[in-house]
Amino acid sequence: MNYDDEYKWCPECKSYVKYLQSYEKSYCIDCGTSVFLFSKEDWEKFRENLPRSDYPERLES
């Protein structure tokens, strides 16, 4: 895994950004907002490809 190639979705910046990882959350290096693995739209696309079973909802915090 190459950290320089990793990005997560920042809802404040509305883009995929580099982030700082803590034990429980990740934070945008530009604005400090908690970031997510996917944007809402990308999460929905990802879920469409999963088998219809019990899969997690996107967690907002």
pLDDT confidence of residue 14: 97
For residue 44, the enclosing domain spans 3-48
In a domain, 29, yes or no: yes
- Considering the domain boundaries, does residue 60 fall inside one? no
Report whether pLDDT(61) > 90.
no
pTM across the whole model: 0.73
Q: Domain for residue 20, yes or no?
A: yes
pLDDT tens digit sequence for 4-54: 789 999 999 999 999 999 999 999 999 999 999 999 999 888 888 777 665
Residue scoring higher pLDDT (2 or 11): 11
Residue 53 forms part of a structural domain: no
Task: Give 8-15 contacts, CB < 8 A, sequence gap 24+.
Answer: 8/35, 8/36, 8/37, 9/35, 9/36, 9/37, 9/38, 9/39, 9/42, 10/35, 11/35, 11/36, 11/39
Question: Is the model's pLDDT at 60 over the cut of 80?
Answer: no
Residue 1's pLDDT is 64
Q: How many domains does the chain have?
A: 1
